[in-house]
């Protein structure tokens, strides 16, 4: 069994974007019941794959957010802190 922490909200959001989630769930359920047991197991395996994929995508998005937050104040300044006039000794 695959760990499904936090993924339900991802699928809930997808279902809301697609329309009436009850109708989609019903269509999925009806289609699944028409399949032989071996294909129902394959469908379950595919659903587990999609859940893992969604978890990884969510983790990637959090990592990118964390990285962009960490680098936010590290952007180069437009003007240098020191200019040539500030140098006391110039090496050539």
pLDDT digits (tens, 9 = 90+) for 22-61: 788 888 889 889 999 999 999 999 999 999 998 898 888 8
Confidence at 62, pLDDT banded by 50, 70, 90: confident
Sole residue written with tokens 């379950």: 44
Most confident of 53-57, 69-73, 77-81: 53-57
**Which of 53, 55, 52 lies closest to 1 in space, CA to CA?**
52
pLDDT digits (tens, 9 = 90+) for 1-18: 444 455 556 666 666 666
How far, in Å, CA of 4 to CA of 51, rounded? 7
By the 8 A CB rule, do 16 and 8 touch?
no
Asked if the structure places residue 79 within a domain, the reply is: no
Asked if the structure places residue 85 within a domain, the reply is: no
By the 8 A CB rule, do 6 and 55 touch?
yes
Asked if the structure places residue 55 within a domain, the reply is: yes
Residue range 55-73: average pLDDT? 79
pLDDT at res. 3: 47
Based on the structure, what is the number of domains in the chain?
Answer: 1
Task: Give the domain range for residue 55.
Answer: 7-74
């Amino acid at each position: 069994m695959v760990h499904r922490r936090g993924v339900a909200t991802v699928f809930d959001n997808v279902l809301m974007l697609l329309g009436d989630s009850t109708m989609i769930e019903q269509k999925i359920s009806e289609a699944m019941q028409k399949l032989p047991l071996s294909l129902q197991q394959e469908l379950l395996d595919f659903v587990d794959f999609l859940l893992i994929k969604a978890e990884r995508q969510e983790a990637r998005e959090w990592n990118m957010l964390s990285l962009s937050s960490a680098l936010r104040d590290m952007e180069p300044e437009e003007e240098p802190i020191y200019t040539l006039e500030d140098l006391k000794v110039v090496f050539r």
